[in-house]
Structure 1
Amino acid sequence: MGKAKKLKITAQKRVSSLAEDISSQNIARPTGRNKIRTNRTEDEDSKYVHEKESRKILEQARLQQQELEEQLGTASRQAPTLGQSKADSDEEEEVPESGQDEFDETFYDDLQIDAEDERALEQFMTKNSQPRQTLADIIMAKIQEKQTEIHTQFSDTGTVLLQDIDERVVKMYEQVKIVLQRYRSGKLPKAFKILPNLRNWEQILYITDPSSWSAAAMYEATKIFSSNLKEKMAQRFYNLVLLPRVRDDISEYKKLNQHLYKALRKALFKPGAFFKGILIPLCESGNCTLREAIIFGSVLAKNSIPVLHSSAALLKIAEMDYNGANSIFLRILFEKKYALPYRVIDASVYHFLRFQRETRLLPVLWHQALLTFCQRYKEDISSEQKEALLELLKRQRHHSITAEVRRELQLSKCRDTEMIFEEIV
C-alpha cells in the first residue's frame, strides 16, 4: 500500500470590511466599454407595422387624397411647361435633389387681376415697343456680320469668339440639349456645368437652345451661371435667356412655373446683375403687364437686397419714362424702409411731381406708391417739396387714398426745419 497523502490545510483568509476595501482601492472599477442591451423583439415590433394595419393606413391615405383632389378640382392640374410634352406634364413633378433648396414652395400660381387696373396700366404702356432680343438673335446677328472673318479671334472683353467649333463638340452639346429638354431632377451633364468657364460660352449655349429647356433645367442653369459668372456675364445670361423665358411662360399660361420662380429668386443672389439684366430692361420695355409686375415684385419683396443696389434701382426707375409697372416696383422698394440718400428721395419726389399736369386717369398703383413714400420718408423731404406734394394732391385725387396722403404730409416734420432748429440750439 502506498503512503497516505497528507491533507493540505490552508488558513482561512480574513474577510475585510467595506471601509478597508475602499481605502485599499480593492474595489471593482467600470471599464470604458458600454454595453447596450436591446430587446430585439421589441425593436422589431416598433419598426414594422402589421399587414392589416398597413392596409388600413394606405386605404385612409387614398381616401384623403381623393377628397383633396375633389376640393382642388382642376386647380391641381398644372399646365405643361415650355419645352415639355403634355404627356410629360401629367407625370408627378419632382423638385431637383441636387443641392438642398433653401427656398420655400410659395410662388404665384394663379393671380386674380382686376380688369380696371389692367386697363388703366395699358394707357401708360408704350405702343411702339421694340421686339425683344434673345440669345439666338444676337448670336446670329454677330455671325452674319463676321461671315468673312469667321476665323478671327476677338479680345477677352466678353464678346463671342466666332470661330469654327469642332464637330465633336457640337454633337456633344446637341446631346446635352436633348437631356435639358427632358430634365426633371438629378445631376446635369458635366459638359453643361463647365459652360461658364468657356470664353465662347454664349455661342455654345446657343447650340443647346435655351428656349426648349424644361423649367427645372432653367432653374439648375441659373444656379450654375449665377455662381460661376462675373456680374456682367451673369447680367447677359439673365437678360438674354432667363427674362424672355419667364415672360413667355407668364404670357402663355397666365402664371409662372415654380422652378422659374425659384430661378428668379436665385438670380437675385447677384443683385446688380438682376437689376441691370431683368428689372431695368423690364421697366424700359414699356409693355410690362400687371401680372408680370406683381410676380417680379414678389421676388423683390421676399429677398433681402443691399441698400446700395436698391437705391440705384430706385433712382433709375424714378427717372425713366413712366409705366404702370414702375409704381409696383417703387412701392415694394419703399416698403423695405431703407435709409435712402437725399438724392434718391429728391428723385422720387420729382417723379410724382411730373404728374401734376397729367390729364389721364392715374391708376390706383400710382396713388399707393405715393402713400407708401409719404408714410416712410415724410420726414426726409424738404418743406418746399412738402408744399409741392400738397399742391399735387389738389390735381390728382383718389377717393380713399388722397386724404390719407394729405394727413401724413401735414403731420410730418421736414428735414430742413430740423436743421434750422439744430442751428438755433
Structure 2
Amino acid sequence: MTLVDLTPRARAAERLATLPVVIIGAGPIGLAAAANLLERGIDFTVLEAGEGAGASIGLWGHTRLFSPWRHLIDPASRRLLIAAGWSAPADEGRAPTGHELVDEYLVPLARLDAIRARIRFATRVTAVTREGMDRTRTAGREETPFLVRLQSADGTVSELGARAVIDASGTYTSPNPLGASGLEPLGAADVEDLIVHALPDVLGADRARFAGRHTTVVGAGHSAANTLIALARLAEEEPGTRITWLIRNPTAVRVSASPDDELADRARLGSRLDQLVAVGAIDTVDSFRIARVAAHGDGVRLLGTRRGEPAAHDTDLVVNATGFRPDLTMLREVRLELDDIVESPIRLAPLIDPNVHSCGTVAPHGFAELRHPEPGFFVVGMKSYGRAPTFLLATGYEQVRSVVAWLDGDMPAATQVRLTLPATGVCSTDLGAGSCC
C-alpha cells in the first residue's frame, strides 16, 4: 500500500469537512436552515441566545402577522415535521399571532430529535472570525475554519470551529434610535425606563403600564400603527388614556390606506388608523425631529425641531417604533460587503429598496445576492435586509434553501431560485392587529 501525503491545502479541506455549519439564531429562518442542512446530510450546530425556539418572536407574540400560515412554513421543515407525525394548522389561510407561530410550528420543529440534539439555547454569539487570523490576513483564508466565540448564560466563554456560518440572528432586539440623526438622542439614558421597545402588549401584559397615561408613539411604519390601534382600544376602556403619534416626515408614507396598495390588508390597517386620527382618538405631531430627551415631572420631554423651529413635546411614555437595524458588532472580524445605505449585502440592496419595493414585490434571491467576500459566510433572514422593512419569511426560506444547496456543492439547485407570491402580496391582518410582514 502506498501512503499519499496530502498537501497542506488538501489537509485543510479535509479538516473543514469534519466541522459543522454554525447557524446563529433558532428563529424561523435559522431553523429552516437547519432543516435544509439535515435533509442534505450536512452536520450543523444552532446557537440561540434565548431560552427556546423563536425567543425574539415571543417578545411580540401577542401581535398578529400579516402573512397567513401557508406562507410561514418552510418547505423542508414541513417535510420533516409531517414525517414525524405533525399536523399543519387546519386553516392555512389564517394569519397566526407570533405566539401561535412559535407554539404550533417552531417549537415542534426544534423538538425533532435530529435538530434538538444540535441546538444550544441560552448561548450568545459574541464574535465570528477565522481561526488564527483577523480580517486583514488573506493567505489561506478560504481553507481556514471559522471560529465562533460564545457566551453561555452563566458567563462562561468558549469557542467553536465551523466550516461555514449562517447568521440568522434577526434585528428585533436592535432598534433604530429615536434621534433623527440616527443616534440615540442626548439624555436618553436618563429616561430609559420611560422609553418602550416596539410592539408592547398594550392590551395584555403591559396594560397597567399604559392605562390612564399619555403615550407618544414615534415612528411611521406598521409597528407604530399596530401600537396606536391597540392604544385606541385601551383608551375606550381606560379613562385618561391619551395617545399621540409623532413622526419625522410630513406624512406617514409607510402606512398606506390606498386602495391601490397591492397588500390590501395592509391598506385596511392604514385605513383604520386614518379613521382614528380623523375622529380625534389619536393626536398627531408631524415633521418633528428629536434631538434630545429629558425627564419632565414623572414623564419625558422630547426636544428637537419642527419645520425648522425649536419644538418640545411632553408625554408620560414613549414607544420607539422607528424600525430596526442589524447589529454587526459580532462580525467585526468578518469581511463584509454591505450597501452604504441599507446595510444589506450589496447585491441584494437594489432588490429590497423600500422606496421601490413592498413585501410582495421583492424578487427571489439566493446565495449569489447574499454572498460576502468571506467565503462560507452568509447573513440571511431579516438581518440580511439591513434597515429595509420589507422582509417576508417566505423570502427568507428561499434564501436558506439556496445557501444550503451552495454549501452542498449543488450549483443547479443553488442557482434556480424561485418564489411564487400572490400578485396582491401575502399579508393579512385581523381587525388591524397585524405586524410587519
Determine if the TM-score, normalized by the shorter chain, exceeds 0.5.
no
Higher helix residue share: 1
**The TM-score by the shorter chain falls in which range?**
under 0.3
Higher strand residue share: 2
Q: Which has the higher contact order (CA 8 A, sep 6+)?
A: 2
Name the larger-Rg structure. Answer: 1
